[in-house]
């Protein structure tokens, strides 16, 4: 699935400009700096992919990538950034919520959480929204290379306990690192299962 081409094909600054729904769609979301670009690059083996979404002007958009013609990967704008005007945050929230509610072919949202920090208040706000909208999501811990083995176990256990009460959460938590590639094969397998469903 990830061996072939991965091409940026659309950036949607508003709901009116979303590309037509096609095949299975997955989305990646997380706080700014969580390691989303690095993970998307590690996942797709394309270093140019998520850089596109880091270029100024594209950061507040939904970026759509075609993966081998069978999967659409949506890179969502990072949230929780400091010093962004209120109006922008409101516009972001509106776009994201409308997208998440209205996209029938969206199979799963991969919610990226920094393994060193765990859930922040803004993350749980987003999860509340996903639970309410019944949008299926899976927690992906990033930067796992920064933790000791005991810390990894404690963090994973803690996150699993927190999501056990959340109706739209997929129970399996994935620990990943773009630095040492751990968890990337498991993440790919998780995505491949969605396509096979």
Q: Which residues bind ligand GDP (CB under 6 A)?
A: 30, 32-38, 78, 142-143, 145-146, 177-179
Q: Which is nearer to ligand GDP, 35 or 174 (CB)?
A: 35
Separation between Cα atoms, residue 101 and residue 77, nearest integer Å: 16
Q: Please answer whether residues 162 and 154 qualify as being in contact, where contact means their C-beta atoms are separated by less than 8 angstroms.
A: no
Three-state secondary structure call for residue 29: strand
Could you tell me the smallest distance in angstroms from the CB atom of residue 175 to ligand GDP?
10
Could you tell me the smallest distance in angstroms from the CB atom of residue 78 to ligand GDP?
5
Could you tell me the smallest distance in angstroms from the CB atom of residue 117 to ligand GDP?
12
Could you tell me the smallest distance in angstroms from the CB atom of residue 48 to ligand GDP?
14
Q: Which is nearer to ligand GDP, 31 or 108 (CB)?
A: 31
- Sign (positive or negative) of CA dihedral 160, 161, 162, 165: positive
Question: Based on the number of CB atoms within 10 Å of its own CB, is 173 exposed (0-12), middle (13-18) or buried (19 or more)?
Answer: buried
Separation between Cα atoms, residue 55 and residue 167, nearest integer Å: 35
Separation between Cα atoms, residue 67 and residue 65, nearest integer Å: 6
Q: Which is nearer to ligand GDP, 101 or 117 (CB)?
A: 117
* Residue indicated by tokens 């949202």: 109
Three-state secondary structure call for residue 105: coil
Q: Please answer whether residues 144 and 115 qualify as being in contact, where contact means their C-beta atoms are separated by less than 8 angstroms.
A: yes
Could you tell me the smallest distance in angstroms from the CB atom of residue 160 to ligand GDP?
20
Could you tell me the smallest distance in angstroms from the CB atom of residue 177 to ligand GDP?
4
Separation between Cα atoms, residue 33 and residue 36, nearest integer Å: 7
């Amino acid at each position: 699935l990830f061996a072939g081409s991965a091409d940026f094909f659309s950036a949607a600054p508003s709901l009116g400009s979303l590309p037509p729904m096609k095949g299975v769609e997955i989305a990646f979301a997380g706080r700014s700096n969580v390691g989303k670009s690095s993970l998307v690059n590690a996942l797709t083996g394309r270093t140019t992919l998520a850089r596109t979404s880091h270029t100024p002007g594209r950061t507040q958009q939904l970026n759509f990538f075609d993966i081998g013609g069978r999967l659409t990967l949506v890179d969502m704008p990072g949230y929780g950034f400091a010093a962004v005007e209120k109006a922008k945050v409101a516009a972001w929230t509106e776009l994201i919520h409308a997208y998440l509610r209205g996209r029938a072919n969206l199979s799963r949202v991969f919610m990226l959480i920094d393994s060193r920090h765990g859930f922040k208040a803004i993350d749980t706000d987003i999860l509340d929204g996903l639970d309410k909208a019944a949008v299926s999501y899976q927690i992906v811990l990033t930067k796992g290379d920064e933790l000791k083995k005991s810390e990894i176990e404690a963090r994973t256990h803690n996150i699993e306990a927190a999501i056990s009460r959340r109706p739209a959460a997929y129970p399996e938590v994935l620990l990943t690192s773009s630095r040492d590639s751990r968890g990337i094969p498991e993440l790919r397998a998780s995505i491949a299962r969605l396509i096979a469903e």
